[in-house]
Amino acid sequence: MTAAGKLAGETAIVTAAGQGLGEEISKTFALEGANVAVVDINQADAERVCADINKAGGSAIAIKTDATKKSEVTAMVATVVAQWGTVDILVNAAGGFHQFAPITEIAEEEWDRVINVNLKSVFLCSQAVAKTMMDKRKGCIISISSGAGVGPNPYAPSYLPYGAGKAGLIGFSKLLARDIGEYGVTVNTVAPGTTLTPRVRKVRDAASIERIKNQNPMKTLVEPEDCAAAVLFLASKDARYITGVNLNVNAGNIIV
């Protein structure tokens, strides 16, 4: 960890930080000098990532939070402000789904669950930090979308609730960027393609991974650190005038 890093002295909240992209983003931010609130619905995962950061010389706290519940989000942000005095960066990394199904087989409860975790969580967390950022006229909100939110994958089936949630996230972020830009707050999204997180490596065999690689123009898959680097760029002073942008990080899987 370094006092001269790109995020030195900044305070960041990262949701879904107990694994996958959220974990990689949290550790990358800590390496660049940020105080990091490691937020996850799974307390044990959040504490593990927090311990790794602190052991390496960084500054982190673990906060168990269901990002789809307003009361829990409000309490989480209050804890961060009590610890470090402010919030400079919010990374909304919570999201996902657990099945593919055609529209005729999607239950209303499943639709609500997927939309809540992928879109409502972004609204609640962004709302919870907005006043602090607007009052000090400085802040950065970055949300993790997906290629599924940009358009249908030409090589794989899409899952309607997930794609709709991620597309809504991109639209929400562009509108929010317009609404609060005058206060010096930037709002952007990063849309990964299939990324070689531990979960992806666990659920896909070598042949499946190779097939997806060969479908991409660059004939490779993105690593978690590649997405974390894109998020770091958008959170840094290098991107201080970039807002309302969706940055595709997918080895060319979707080119727009």
Q: Give the residue numbers marked as catalytic.
A: 159
Please give the structure tokens belonging to residue 89: 């960066």
Backbone angles phi, psi at 215, to 5 degrees: -80, -20
- CA gap 53, 221 in Å, rounded: 26
Cα distance between residue 76 and residue 65, in whole Å: 7
What percent of the residues of the chain are helix, what percent strand, and what percent coil, each to the nearest 5? 50, 15, 35
Q: What is the 3-state secondary structure (H, E, C) of 94-145?
A: CCCCCCCCCHHHCCHHHHHHHHHHHHHHHHHHHHHHHHHHHHHCCEEEEEEC
Residue 40, strand partner residues: 64
DSSP secondary structure code for residue 155 in this structure: T
Cβ density class 91-105: b for 16+ within 10 Å, e for less? bbbbbebeeeeeeee
